[in-house]
């Protein structure tokens, strides 16, 4: 089978997903085009250089509607002969784009792809697509649908995680992210966002709060307690499904959950012949990919079964992995992963994660693959695993290996 190699990975800085955020006036199309243009320029791509652009985005309405991938290609400097495919696997959309591209290459369907994603959460609010899984009673009631924040608190209750543990993880995420930026660990991959006059709008993740400590987090109210206990009372629905819990322990708040931000990321993937044609060297190969479904109510435990599946499929053990990126959707997601595999925290999210820097839904999967690759190179390690939890009860994972 043909190998699929990662040749390059870039991302924009993540902007606050609010009207006062630096990227609020930048559209999803423009931010995507920034990433596409960077990959084209950095690698000397010409003409119909890649088979397709596969682009993830979650809230596919308004400016993120239609086939955003194709629109982004046309708005970029890429050749118009390159098509585009927009996909949605919720929070793993950017990863699924990469995995799909890699598997297309392995199957002989083209020499190269650009894959990644975007989410402008400040311009196209999460949930504004009115998805049936959340609003159609004939679907939602049958599957005991609860919002993701409630699911995160269910995980904390089920597996015994405390508010202090969640806050400690959040403080550490902030510390690591600040250190990574201060030491220039993201420099290889960051593409500054500029306006039409070429002036820089944003060149650094702006959501971070490096001064975060246990005291400041201690003053925050649980974000999902009222939603669970009062209106509309999702805790009762959850306990109908999991009666052994008796009561949901609400430990999550804005400080130990992922941030609402704007961002985009892309990965250039190709076979050996593609690299030889353009005179570029591969940085890693995509060794294995996977996706899996699971309980849609607790929903966010996906990184555990996804990791179990991908390791089995690859014929590997958890000890074969040097570094991990586990998306920090909520603190309990990462804590559950650590608990399940007894993995040292020193090799998980070495440079912080979405609690500190934010989670632009459709882009994050591609972001963490690029971050993992950069860190493997920095530490001169060989193999890394990236994984995400996914809304409605799914998980996805990717194993990369340096070459």
Instruction: Answer yes or no: are the C-beta atoms of 353 and 293 closer than 8 Å.
Output: no
According to the model, what pLDDT value does residue 149 have? 97
Q: pTM for the complete prediction?
A: 0.97
* SS3 call for 6: strand
Question: pLDDT, tens digit, for every residue of 218-247?
Answer: 999 999 999 999 877 899 999 999 999 999
Instruction: Answer yes or no: are the C-beta atoms of 286 and 309 closer than 8 Å.
Output: no
Instruction: Answer yes or no: are the C-beta atoms of 153 and 251 closer than 8 Å.
Output: yes
Active site residue 91: yes
Kindly name the residue from 91, 250, 252, 253 that is annotated as catalytic.
Answer: 91
**CA-closest candidate to residue 75, choices 126, 123, 26:** 26
Active site residue 389: yes
**CA-closest candidate to residue 290, choices 195, 223, 387, 194:** 387
Question: pLDDT, tens digit, for every residue of 82-96?
Answer: 999 999 999 999 999
What gap in Å lies between CA 59 and CA 66, rounded to an integer? 11
Kindly name the residue from 250, 252, 253, 359 that is annotated as catalytic.
Answer: 359
Question: pLDDT, tens digit, for every residue of 338-383?
Answer: 999 999 999 999 999 999 999 999 999 999 999 999 999 999 999 9
Q: For the chain, list residues with pLDDT below 70.
A: none
Strand partners, 257: 330
Helical H segments across 84-131, by residue range:
93-106
- Taking each helix axis as running N to C, give the angle between helix 93-106 and helix 364-379, from 0 to 180 degrees, rounded to the nearest 10: 70
* SS3 call for 325: strand
Task: Calculate the average pLDDT of the chain.
Answer: 97
**DSSP single-letter state for residue 3:** -
Label the pairing between strands 112-120 and 261-270: antiparallel
Kindly name the residue from 250, 252, 290, 389 that is annotated as catalytic.
Answer: 389
């Amino acid at each position: 089978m043909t190998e699929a190699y990662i040749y390059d990975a870039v991302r924009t800085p993540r902007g606050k997903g609010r009207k006062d955020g630096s990227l609020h006036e930048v559209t999803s199309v423009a931010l995507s085009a920034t990433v596409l243009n960077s990959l084209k320029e950095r690698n000397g791509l010409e003409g119909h250089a890649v088979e397709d652009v596969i682009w993830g985005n979650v809230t596919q309405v308004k400016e993120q509607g239609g086939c955003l991938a194709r629109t982004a290609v046309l708005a970029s400097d890429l050749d118009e002969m390159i098509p585009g495919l927009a996909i949605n696997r919720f929070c793993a959309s950017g990863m699924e784009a990469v995995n799909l591209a890699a598997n297309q290459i392995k199957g002989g369907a083209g020499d190269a792809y650009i894959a990644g994603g975007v989410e402008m959460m400040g311009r196209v609010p999460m949930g504004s697509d009115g998805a049936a899984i959340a609003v159609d009673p004939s679907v939602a009631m049958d599957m005991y649908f609860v919002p993701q924040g409630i699911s995160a608190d269910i995980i904390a209750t089920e597996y015994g995680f405390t508010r202090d543990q969640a806050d400690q993880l959040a403080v550490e995420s902030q510390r690591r992210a600040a250190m990574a930026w201060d030491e220039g660990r993201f420099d290889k991959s960051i593409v500054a966002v500029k306006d039409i006059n070429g002036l820089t709008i944003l060149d650094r993740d702006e959501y971070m709060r490096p001064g975060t400590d246990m005291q400041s987090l201690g003053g925050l109210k649980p974000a999902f307690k009222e939603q669970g206990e009062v209106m509309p009372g999702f805790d009762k629905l959850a306990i109908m499904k999991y009666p052994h819990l008796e009561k949901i322990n609400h430990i999550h708040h804005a400080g130990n959950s992922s941030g609402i931000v704007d961002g985009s990321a892309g990965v250039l993937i190709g076979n050996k012949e593609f690299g030889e044609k353009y005179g570029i060297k591969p940085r890693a190969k995509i060794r294995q990919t996977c996706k899996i479904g699971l309980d849609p109510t607790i929903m966010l435990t996906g990184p555990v079964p996804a990791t179990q599946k991908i390791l089995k499929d690859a014929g590997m053990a958890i000890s074969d992995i040097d570094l991990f990126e586990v998306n920090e959707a909520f603190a309990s997601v990462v804590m559950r992963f650590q608990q399940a595999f007894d993995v040292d925290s020193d090799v998980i999210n070495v440079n912080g994660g979405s609690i500190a820097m934010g989670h632009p839904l459709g882009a994050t999967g591609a972001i963490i693959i690029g971050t993992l690759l950069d860190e493997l190179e920095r530490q001169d390690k060989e193999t890394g695993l990236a994984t995400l939890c996914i809304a409605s009860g799914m998980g996805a994972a990717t194993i990369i290996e340096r070459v």
